[in-house]
Amino acid sequence: MENGFKLTRTPNCFGYPRFSPLTVFTPGKETLRKKIREDAVKYLFADKYQMFDEIARVAINELSNTTGRSIFDVELAVEHQIHYSQNHNGFIQNRLRERCFRIKDQLMAGIKDLGLHFSPGDKLIDVGAGSGVVAQMLKDELELQYAFLTDVVDYRYPDVRHTRGMDFRLFKPPFEKIDCDELYQIGIITNTLHHCDEPLKVFSTLADRLAPGAVLMVVESCVGVSVAEVRNHLQSMVIPYQTLFDQQGNIQDDQLEYFAMNDDDKMLYGIFFDWLYNRIFLNENINVPYNFGTPSDWNMHFEKNGFHVLQTYLMGFDQPAAIEFHTLHIIKKK
């Protein structure tokens, strides 16, 4: 790599460094690379470790020739040379559905833990709904009559399109207003804020559509969590699929390895898997601005913008396919 070639972009919405995922393949990152390779094999590819090695080979080759190119060009060149999206399409689609089931179960566990009750007339809004499966299952389980879904792209699965009592509208920049007249009693925004270029603005737009006293459930990929912080979060054990604690409340070994990393490497770990999963597996030009914050960054933002934080559940690497450190924040509009 030539001197002066930049591997970071402008800082993210919380001011944290926005490293290129390819930083993983630069000198000095061998320990992180080893951990990522092991976790990728363990959680994602089973015996297909060759895939990680192929990405490494292509990335190192592209990084050796950066003359006249930006990091964006180099990343794109790597993305275009990895042809796994076809092979992995079925594999990833199955995992996506499984992931939706898990998220729904996690939201339900939080609702139960906090003793929250909803009535059939309460309306649900989901921003960044994706396939729509999480909202569809939550609506069913809470026996709600109506849910409103919105996203910048219509990714809804066919069965979701045909579910009664569910509307969808495209959400377009500049994201100042969601095009609906209702105020909602339940909001969900799951795995979405870090995909938005302006997550804080998208959050405010959603907040505007919530009724006073409404409950909003946010699932985010977070960075900067320390092992000390996790020890104080035994309440997370009530959430299914959390990977932090064993049944006795001890922190699991592979999570301890993650906590041993410094903050930059934890950020890079999250960035790498977000990139791998969205840009290599799904390959759909999904926006990956890596707007990761700490759980407290998010909670401070919620508190400053008219919400009480009822509970924060730290869940660890709980979702198949997305090996990111997840948190569930359940907050209530004042």
Ligand X SMILES: C[S@@+](CC[C@H](N)C(=O)[O-])C[C@H]1O[C@@H](n2cnc3c(N)ncnc32)[C@H](O)[C@@H]1O
Binding stretches for ligand X (CB under 6 A): 100, 103, 127-131, 134, 151-153, 155, 171, 175, 190-192, 195-196, 202, 287
Please state the closest distance from residue 218 (CB atom) to ligand X, in A.
11
Instruction: Give the nearest distance from C-beta 305 to ligand X in angstroms.
Output: 17
Compute the distance between CA of residue 221 and CA of residue 328 in angstroms, rounded to an integer: 9
The H-assigned helical ranges of the chain are 30-39, 49-63, 71-81, 84-113, 133-141, 158-161, 199-208, 227-231, 253-259, 263-275, 295-304
Report in angstroms how near the CB of residue 172 gets to ligand X at its nearest.
Answer: 9
Among 88, 130, 133, 139, smallest CA distance to 280 is for 88
Residue closer to ligand X by CB (options 51, 129) is 129
Sheet bearing 123-127, strands edge to edge: 166-170, 146-151, 123-127, 184-190, 210-221, 326-333, 307-316
The 8 Å CB, 24+ separation contacts for 54-63 are 54/82, 55/82, 55/276, 55/280, 56/25, 58/82, 59/22, 59/24, 59/25, 60/25, 62/22, 63/1, 63/22, 63/25, 63/26
State the nearest-atom distance from the C-beta of 30 to ligand X, in Å. Answer: 30
Q: Report strand pairing: 8-9 vs 210-221.
A: unpaired
Do 267 and 223 form a contact (C-beta atoms < 8 A)? yes
User: Is the CB of 171 or the CB of 269 nearer to ligand X?
Assistant: 171
Nearer to ligand X (CB atom), residue 134 or residue 239: 134
Least distance (Å) between residue 203 CB and ligand X: 10
Q: For residues 130 and 316, which CB has a smaller minimum distance to ligand X in the complex?
A: 130
- Cβ proximity to ligand X: between 52 and 203 the closer is 203
Q: Which residue lies nearer to ligand X by CB, 171 or 272? A: 171
| Residue, CB closest to ligand X | 130
What minimum distance in Å lies between the beta carbon of 244 and ligand X? 20
Nearest distance, CB of residue 289 and ligand X, angstroms? 9
DSSP per-residue codes, 101-145: HHHHHHHHHHHHHTT----TT-EEEEES-TTSHHHHHHHHHTT-S
Q: Which C-beta is closer to ligand X: that of 128 or that of 224? A: 128
The pair of structure tokens assigned to 209 is 């559509």
3-state secondary structure of 311: strand
In the complex with ligand X, which residue's Cβ is closer, 63 or 217? 217
Amino acid at residue number 277: Y
Minimal distance, residue 287 CB to ligand X, in Å: 5
Q: In the chain, what is the straight-line distance between the N-terminal and C-terminal CA atoms, in Å? A: 52
Pick between residue 175 and residue 298 the one whose CB is nearest to ligand X: 175
For 112, 132, 155, 239, 301, the CA distances from 136, given in Å and listed in that order, are: 19, 6, 14, 20, 28
Give dist(CA 25, CA 161) in Å, integer: 42
CB of 143 to ligand X, least distance (A): 21
* Residue indicated by tokens 């630069």: 26
